[in-house]
Structure 1
């Protein structure tokens, strides 16, 4: 009874691998806050890969097998990335320092396409007025920007979510 679903298992695993690689190449950071175009893209991708996973089997069992395979692969990948650092480094993004002790890292900001306006907005949302008041500002792995200010009283526990990709960062 498993062999009729072997094709679905292999197809689902291939789609999972493809989507993991595609997100690594095109950037998970952009998924931290979705706009209309992002939602449309996700819906179209899910619709296009559905047939690739289940093939001609449109039965309830075929869909459940495909979903189960995706959950199992995701569970295994999470366990393996915790156990093996090299796999963690290969698959998962790392936090990036944007500001350290009031000094902007222009190279990182440029590489990540974070604009001056976007960075200022994130800092203001944390109750900080100027870069020089920032002890540490990081782009976290989930795409949020966290800020630790020099003044511990103004420290807020909110996270700024990136809205879109800007390429006009200026000093």
Structure 2
């Protein structure tokens, strides 16, 4: 087999495997990486490198693998933009955490969000009490959005940090 065709097939297979694996383990956790997460990503990249390029350690082999990854990523983004069902399959859904001052304990438990994390997000948004929150959502990118009934809303940005217990939950 042509060595570059081999690299293309291997790279595509690894990319698709990683997409599926990260989808199964959840992508909300990548909103803010800690040291253990960065180490995990580096180790995963090192472990799949040989699966993509095999024995070919040439510059051209590495560029072929990288090109395939960029092309697949580009195509997936276009498909997600064009086909809503495909996008829904690939992306997580936003989750309601607080609605009209009432915490959704089932969602918080499922997402492993502690009350301390939620309070931190509220403080980032300038909100002191749960009862002041009209709507709090965990967005698809891991951000926690908070809307109050206050007329003087200001935009803030809070990224959920992972705790060490959720280390293996990836993208």
TM-score exceeds 0.5:
yes
Between the two structures, name the one with larger relative contact order (CA 8 Å, sep ≥ 6): 2
Where does residue 162 of structure 1 map in the other structure? 160
Where does residue 46 of structure 1 map in the other structure? 45
**Residues matched between the structures, number:** 165
1:111 aligns with 2:110: yes
Quote the offset at 1:152 in angstroms.
2.9
Where does residue 91 of structure 2 map in the other structure? 92
Task: State the TM-score, normalizing by the size of structure 2.
Answer: 0.91
Quote the offset at 1:91 in angstroms.
1.1
Unaligned 5+ runs, structure 2:
166-171
CA distance in 1, matches of 2:54, 2:2: 14
Task: State the TM-score, normalizing by the size of structure 1.
Answer: 0.91
Runs of 4+ displaced beyond 3 Å? none
How big is the alpha-carbon RMSD for the aligned residues of Structure 1 and Structure 2?
Answer: 1.6
Secondary structure at 2:36's aligned position in 1? helix
Where does residue 168 of structure 2 map in the other structure? none
1:5 aligns with 2:11: no
Deviations 1:84-129 (A, max 9, x none): 2221121111111111121211111111110111111101110000
1:73 aligns with 2:90: no
